[in-house]
Amino acid sequence: MDARTSDTVTVEAGPGRPRPGRSSSLSWKLLLLTVLFVMLSEVVIYVPSISNFRIAWLSDRLTIADAASIVLESADRGEVPRQIQDDLLSAVGAIAIAIRNGSTSRLIASVDMPPDVDVTADLRSMNPVRDIIDAFDTLAASDKRIMRVIGTSRAGPIIEILIDDAALRAAML
């Protein structure tokens, strides 16, 4: 070999060999993989978080309704004034509050005529997959829906509230 020749071989792009470009470089592939894994991790974090937020928000409403039901039940056995019922319903964010003890159900406070229930959320039994589906169902709903939320009160009986799920949807967004 001659001292003037080098040992490097240059490969020129020809008709059968594509020219190396940006999309085939290692840094481009690394950037693409990084973006994909960041997006995947965001989904893995967001999905259970939004489900947990929905459950916590509904549980808070049940806790407030439970306190309101104690106030309404502890009042004299006479009729609670309509204005107090409306104020308590407004504080809870509910349309109606009911207590179920065994086979007996008692409406504690309500608007004049409660609307029909569109969807029910039972917080007594938790199912992670079902909770995630329900959370996305709430987010995807475009119309105004009435939700019946069922849970256990501190005193033991079952408490039910009717709410408009628009407030929940706004809080989730």
How many structural domains compose the chain?
1
Residue 139 to residue 119: CA distance in whole angstroms: 13
Taking 70 as the threshold, does the pLDDT of residue 8 lie above it? no
Domain range for 130 is: 32-172
Residue 3 has pLDDT above 60, yes or no: no
Residue closest to 91 by CA, chosen among 59, 67, 56: 67
CA distance 31 to 34: 5
Report the percentage of the chain scoring pLDDT > 90. 45
Q: Is 13 among the domain residues?
A: no
Contact 115, 23 (CB under 8 A): no
pLDDT in tens, 71-107: 887 775 557 788 888 888 988 889 999 999 888 888 8
Specify if 16 maps to a domain: no
Residue 132's pLDDT is 93
